[in-house]
Amino acid sequence: MTAPLPTDEAQRLESLRRYHVLDTPPEQSFDNLTLLAARICQTPIALVSLVDESRRWFKSRIGVSEAETPRETAFCAHAILQKDKMLQVCDAQSDLRFADNPLVRTDPRVRFYAGVPLVTPDGHALGTLCVMDRVPRSLGAEQLSALRVLSQHVLIQLELRRQVRELGTEAAKLRRAETLLSLQFDELTSKKADMAEDITERKLTQQRQRMFLQELLAEREKERKRISCILHHDVGSLAVGMSAHFDAIETALRSENPQESLHWMNKTRKLFHKSVACLKGLAVQLRPPELDVLGLSAALRQHFSRITIRRGTSVLFLETLGQRRLPEDTATILFRVAQEALTNAIAHGQAKQVTVGLKASKEEVKLIIHDSGKGFDPTEKLSQERANMGLQLMQEMVVSGGGRFTIDSERQKGTTVRVSMPLETAETGPADFTANGAAMAEETKTHYGRRSPAHADIRPA
């Protein structure tokens, strides 16, 4: 007679699967227990038998060669129906449930069976620890209680197995998490290093900018001092002189001496012209009025003629800008660059000839200052932490105005400073054209100072 299914069959099978024991190889710990069961109960057969969906599978077996048998013939299938009691069948032939069982009628011709259900902590009977004999018999009280104790050990082994396995899974999960963590840690560390590098780089840039600003402020202060000196010494002493002359004129007038008063008046006029010239020179140095009134080309012309008069250098000015007016900022930047480059060419390059090219298209204006002086190493000078201000200022002004600045120089050959500044187009901005509307004037070529055939031809490309 086939045993009915237990009422918790689905959960029972689920529980059995959680032990991951089905179809695993024999293990000494289980075999020891079946051996003890067989010895204590004095039976030829002892089994740790687990009832699967359609078979019973032996985790440990003594006296049976098959690893599994069909569930329908299993005594255990009956034993697991009563979880809290052991099943003892003293003579299977005379028990209705087993009389026609193939295990009873044919080999191994079982007559006696005693099985203790293996009930899990959550209350499901997975199988039995059972003993069998080929003769009818029964177990004594001590044998029964020993079998019960052994069955508890089987269960402890199963539990241990499950926990070791779960621990193993947890450990593997932990290891995976650890690996992941260490990878993330490495990534964070390298990000931190990158960030530190970024911060260091930023700090260095800020430091450089601070230094540049400090130098700029110091330079401005120097310039103010210089202007103040000119005003105080030159213009101031002229004014003091004039004031003394006025006193002399007054005395001459009071003593009705027209000759004398005329004399002092002429002297005063001379002092007055001198102070006007001095003030004009100062104004030009600060910002040449031509730049605002007549435009860049005119301002440069004025500047070149003043320089060449003073220093005896020849400047060849090639330009196609004519009277075209550039945006004020662009004109100022280009004027300052030309002024500084020319000063350097004369002071450091000791150049006798300088060529300046100025050319504007719709999109940009280009300025080139070439001198055939002594030359130098621009990379070295520009990279010096505390370089002089001229080169740095030129570069900063051009770059901050959105333009490009390059300087090429070779010793004994000369130096070329190249600047190009973007211009806003007619639709978008105020590129100012000449009164007659021409976008591009004809090239004009003007020499300042002593004429020289040796001027390099550096028309901006």
Ligand X SMILES: Nc1ncnc2c1ncn2[C@@H]1O[C@H](COP(=O)(O)OP(=O)(O)OP(=O)(O)O)[C@@H](O)[C@H]1O
Interface ranges with Mg ion (CB under 5 A): 344, 390
Q: Could you tell me the smallest distance in angstroms from the CB atom of residue 202 to Mg ion?
A: 29
Partner whose footprint covers residue 332, from Mg ion, ligand X, none (CB < 5 to 8 Å by kind): none
Check residue 112 for interaction with ligand X (CB under 6 A): no
Residue of 415, 423, 455, 460 interacting with ligand X (CB under 6 A): 415
User: Do 356 and 300 form a contact (C-beta atoms < 8 A)?
Assistant: yes
If the CB atoms of residues 88 and 344 are measured against Mg ion, the closer one turns out to be 344
Rounded to the nearest angstrom, the gap between the alpha carbon of residue 243 and the centroid of all alpha carbons in its chain is 70
Q: Minimal CA–CA distance to 460: which of 346, 361, 332? A: 361
Check residue 327 for interaction with ligand X (CB under 6 A): no
Check residue 387 for interaction with ligand X (CB under 6 A): yes
Check residue 68 for interaction with ligand X (CB under 6 A): no
Partner whose footprint covers residue 374, from ligand X, Mg ion, none (CB < 5 to 8 Å by kind): ligand X
Element (H, E) at 5: none
Give me the residue whose beta carbon is nearest to ligand X: 390
Partner whose footprint covers residue 373, from ligand X, Mg ion, none (CB < 5 to 8 Å by kind): ligand X
If the CB atoms of residues 412 and 436 are measured against ligand X, the closer one turns out to be 412
Residue-wise DSSP of 184-245: HHHHHHHHHHHHHHHHHHHHHHHHHHHHHHHHHHHHHHHHHHHHHHIIIIIIHHHHHHHHHH
Rounded to the nearest angstrom, the gap between the alpha carbon of residue 128 and the centroid of all alpha carbons in its chain is 65
Q: Could you tell me the smallest distance in angstroms from the CB atom of residue 333 to ligand X?
A: 16
Residue 296 carries which side chain, given as an amino acid letter? Answer: L
Q: Could you tell me the smallest distance in angstroms from the CB atom of residue 340 to ligand X?
A: 6
Check residue 336 for interaction with ligand X (CB under 6 A): no
Check residue 337 for interaction with ligand X (CB under 6 A): no
Partner whose footprint covers residue 83, from ligand X, Mg ion, none (CB < 5 to 8 Å by kind): none
Partner whose footprint covers residue 345, from Mg ion, ligand X, none (CB < 5 to 8 Å by kind): ligand X
Rounded to the nearest angstrom, the gap between the alpha carbon of residue 83 and the centroid of all alpha carbons in its chain is 66
Q: Could you tell me the smallest distance in angstroms from the CB atom of residue 415 to ligand X?
A: 4
Check residue 137 for interaction with ligand X (CB under 6 A): no
Q: Could you tell me the smallest distance in angstroms from the CB atom of residue 246 to ligand X?
A: 40
What letters, b where the CB count within 10 A reaches 16 and e where it falls short, cover 267-305?
A: bbeebeeebeebeeeeebeeebebbeeebbbbbbbbbbe
CA atoms of 259 and 271, how far apart (whole Å): 19
Residue of 162, 270, 381, 447 interacting with ligand X (CB under 6 A): 381
Residue of 373, 403, 449, 460 interacting with ligand X (CB under 6 A): 373
User: Do 257 and 249 form a contact (C-beta atoms < 8 A)?
Assistant: no
If the CB atoms of residues 95 and 219 are measured against Mg ion, the closer one turns out to be 219
Residue count (the chain): 461
Check residue 349 for interaction with ligand X (CB under 6 A): yes
If the CB atoms of residues 322 and 373 are measured against ligand X, the closer one turns out to be 373
Q: Minimal CA–CA distance to 7: which of 83, 95, 68? A: 83
User: Do 443 and 317 form a contact (C-beta atoms < 8 A)?
Assistant: no
If the CB atoms of residues 150 and 407 are measured against ligand X, the closer one turns out to be 407
Q: Could you tell me the smallest distance in angstroms from the CB atom of residue 444 to ligand X?
A: 25
Q: Minimal CA–CA distance to 86: which of 118, 132, 123, 53? A: 118
Q: Could you tell me the smallest distance in angstroms from the CB atom of residue 432 to ligand X?
A: 31
Check residue 391 for interaction with ligand X (CB under 6 A): yes
CA atoms of 276 and 234, how far apart (whole Å): 11
CA atoms of 360 and 364, how far apart (whole Å): 6
Q: Could you tell me the smallest distance in angstroms from the CB atom of residue 340 to Mg ion?
A: 6
Which range, of 137-145, 228-236, 316-324, 386-394, touches ligand X by CB under 6 A?
A: 386-394
Q: Could you tell me the smallest distance in angstroms from the CB atom of residue 452 to ligand X?
A: 17
Torsion of CA 258, 264, 266, 267, to 10 degrees: 170
Q: Minimal CA–CA distance to 119: which of 16, 230, 242? A: 16
Which range, of 108-116, 204-212, 316-324, 375-383, touches ligand X by CB under 6 A?
A: 375-383
CA atoms of 77 and 129, how far apart (whole Å): 12
Binding-site ranges for ligand X (CB under 6 A): 344-345, 348-349, 371, 373-376, 381, 387-391, 415
